[in-house]
Amino acid sequence: MFLQQRGKDLSDLQIQYIKGVGPQRAKLLSRLGIKTVKDALYYLPHRYEDRSNLKKISDLRYGNVETVSGRVISAEVKRLTGRNLKIFELTVSDGSGLLKGKWFNQPFMKKNFRVGQEVMLCGTVKKTYSGIGFEMDNPEYEITSDDGDLLIHTNRVVPVYRVTSGLSVRQIRSIMFNLINTCIKDVYDPIPVEILRKNGLPGLSESLSQVHFPDTGIDIGFLNRGVSEFHRRLSFDELFMLELGLAVMKRGSVLEKGIAFNPEGRLLKRLIDMLPFRLTKAQEKVFTEILMDMKRPHPMNRLIQGDVGCGKTVIALMAMTVAAECGYQSALMVPTEILAEQHYINIHSVVEDLGLKICLLTGSKKERPLGEIASGEINIVVGTHALIQEGVMFKNLGLVVIDEQHRFGVKQRALLRKKAIDPDVLVMTATPIPRTLALTLYGDLDYSFIDELPPNRRPVETLLFSPGQKEAIYRFIREEIKEGRQVYVVYPVIEESEKTDLRSAIRGKAAFEKSFPEFRVGLIHGRIKAQEREEIMASFKRGELDLLVCTTVIEVGVDVPNATLMLIIHAERFGLAQLHQLRGRVGRGAHRSYCSLIAYEPHREEARRRLDIMVRSNDGFRIAEEDLNIRGPGEFFGTRQSGMPDLKIANIVRDARLLNKARREAFSLIDRDPDLKGFPLLRKSLEAFWEGKVELFKTG
């Protein structure tokens, strides 16, 4: 946030010049990302300890996390006989009993302690081997007899900060204490006071001071979960700045001039007549929304969400056909070259049948028909996101379709806007996002939702296997193929390598050919040329192959209703979204379908949870929610790449309700005062928040 000190920005005030810091410590602090006073004030404790009434050692309970204060009785390194393990043992007494702290294989810890010193230990209380007294493994510690200030370090709920070597938690705490006392009065609160009042939020300086040194009586559970009212205030600030930025962007694009497409509809009708299926109601509804956007004289900015297999590609195709009919070019962009090729393979013949010209443009492709793109001869270009960065010249780019929102964020969208023209933009997510979150996070976009799958999709039964159940798996494959069905086997890598010991598609193919000489086995992966890949896919579709060994290239748009079994090898290696996407390739016909996940040990707890969710659910939105829980919002959304500012304090999952409030306030404020003329300091801190990501306000 924007903090002022007598007209001076606290983010310009170097931490070095604060009392008790100096050049040496400033260097250490910068390792923690603290360079200015503002950085320091926003360097929040990662947890809190209640030292307002310390437990006596004799009152400790096994299994509880406790903090104890006492005097060092002994400090020695012990060696476990027969094992190459050194244990540093610290014995502490507080007069009521003995407590042992143990650190494994850290003999250097010994030099930190002297007999007679006062220390505090915090950790989980365990029984000792002999049963007498208590111990803690790897407790956090603090040496309390070094320097004095009892008011800062004890007799209260104390903040615990992440440290760096050379700087103890006590030293950081003292610096913070001093900082709060000297600078907090100069903190300027940029959030309009009505908004604070309406939402019952405390002031900024009070909040900063309380999150560092909470008054007694504040629930320590709330503090530790980051949801005390003071934490919430700081979270609100971040969310408000986030939403305010989105509101400004949205407003900007609403006002901008764009293309008013005016299609006759003949080409579109031909496309619809050519489709081998009827559009679902949901597809029709969403396309109507798109068409309305396209006809308006402002740029479209629309997000299309829907579960895997709901049929987003055909919607994109329809929109691109409309653009072509009106004499405009379209670009279809995806995150990787393989995906681009796969999309091209899937749509080029339909497009060509319409009499339109389409080309694939990727970095590794040698002939690049740049001339034909520039002359307008080519109607549709399929490529990666690099399309917009490499300065490809279009004659008249009217529509940009972006598949896979997650890796294409506000930053890239802003880049598009900067190009001379203002094309309509359609964003399609490959991974569903919980609806309320999508609404608030992609607040600069309009939003359409395909809430229906094409008819005759059946829930896929998902089973988890261990490699030891090979016989059962083989029997399963044999039964399906004997019934006339087809099988996919997905591998994480094309070829074995020295770096990993993963099973590979190439080896897998050989193994299946050997085990099933009576079946026809095919192989497809990203190193096979696109044209050849297209032929292999076509022959699988015609039923000329029984079993297709593949990599994740088949994740996109592959549609073989007769394929009823998918085996995913090393399922523990795939992300949830990807597993769900892959599984969407089966369950497309009248027959019952299965997905068998084969997981190799050892795998982490997190992988286990992913696999469990896959077995339990077929619903992409449920799966996305769980994914969000497991990975946390930062990784889930890939915020850094997408150009969304990092959230340091708020957590969009935990603070979902606060996010909604922040959104409402932000959009209503921008409605009333689009340029924030009445709130110059808020505007300045907003720009600082988005700095280096997106330029919100046009300069001049």
Given the rule CB under 6 A, which of 54-62, 160-168, 263-271, 310-318 is the region that contacts ligand ADP? 310-318
Q: Does 314 bind ligand ADP (CB under 6 A)?
A: yes
One of 306, 383, 423, 508 touching ligand ADP (CB under 6 A): 306
What distance in Å separates the CA atoms of residue 339 and residue 566, rounded to the nearest whole number? 20
Q: Is 87 exposed, middle or buried (0-12, 13-18, 19+ CB in 10 A)?
A: middle
Q: What would the two tokens of residue 524 be?
A: 């497809």
The answer to whether residues 487 and 567 touch, using CB atoms and an 8 Å cutoff, is yes
What is the CB neighbour count within 10 angstroms for residue 401?
27
Q: Is 315 exposed, middle or buried (0-12, 13-18, 19+ CB in 10 A)?
A: buried
Q: Is 658 helix (H, G, I), strand (E, B) or coil?
A: helix
One of 308, 319, 553, 686 touching ligand ADP (CB under 6 A): 308
Given the rule CB under 6 A, which of 3-11, 307-315, 647-655, 665-673 is the region that contacts ligand ADP? 307-315
Residue matched to tokens 């497809």: 524
Q: Does 427 bind ligand ADP (CB under 6 A)?
A: no
Q: Does 309 bind ligand ADP (CB under 6 A)?
A: yes
The nearer residue to ligand ADP, 158 or 286, going by C-beta atoms, is 286
Kindly report the three-state secondary structure assignment for every residue of 58-100. Answer: HHCCCCCEEEEEEEEEEEEEEEECCCCEEEEEEEEECCCCEEE
The nearer residue to ligand ADP, 45 or 311, going by C-beta atoms, is 311
Q: What would the two tokens of residue 246 be?
A: 């989105």
The nearer residue to ligand ADP, 276 or 692, going by C-beta atoms, is 276
Scan residues 394-423 and list those touching ligand ADP (CB under 6 A): none
What distance in Å separates the CA atoms of residue 658 and residue 655, rounded to the nearest whole number? 5
Q: Does 593 bind ligand ADP (CB under 6 A)?
A: no
What distance in Å separates the CA atoms of residue 177 and residue 175, rounded to the nearest whole number? 5
One of 446, 559, 673, 695 touching ligand ADP (CB under 6 A): 559
Q: Does 312 bind ligand ADP (CB under 6 A)?
A: yes
Q: Does 335 bind ligand ADP (CB under 6 A)?
A: no
Q: Does 279 bind ligand ADP (CB under 6 A)?
A: yes
Q: Does 117 bind ligand ADP (CB under 6 A)?
A: no
The answer to whether residues 417 and 391 touch, using CB atoms and an 8 Å cutoff, is no
Q: Give me the residues paired with residue 137 across strands.
A: 102
Scan residues 528-557 and list those touching ligand ADP (CB under 6 A): 557
Q: Does 564 bind ligand ADP (CB under 6 A)?
A: no
Site string for ligand ADP, 436-475 (x = CB under 6 A): ------------------x---------------------
Task: Determine which helix (DSSP H) or strand (DSSP E) holds 393, and give its type and residue range.
Answer: none
Residue 55, Cα to own-chain centre: how many angstroms?
41
Q: Does 379 bind ligand ADP (CB under 6 A)?
A: no
Q: Does 277 bind ligand ADP (CB under 6 A)?
A: yes
The nearer residue to ligand ADP, 18 or 553, going by C-beta atoms, is 553
- Which residue is closest to ligand ADP by CB? 311
Q: Compute the residue count for the chain.
A: 700
What distance in Å separates the CA atoms of residue 439 and residue 247, rounded to the nearest whole number? 12
One of 123, 214, 226, 311 touching ligand ADP (CB under 6 A): 311
What is the CB neighbour count within 10 angstroms for residue 104?
12
Q: Which residues bind ligand ADP (CB under 6 A)?
A: 277-280, 283, 306, 308-314, 454, 557, 559
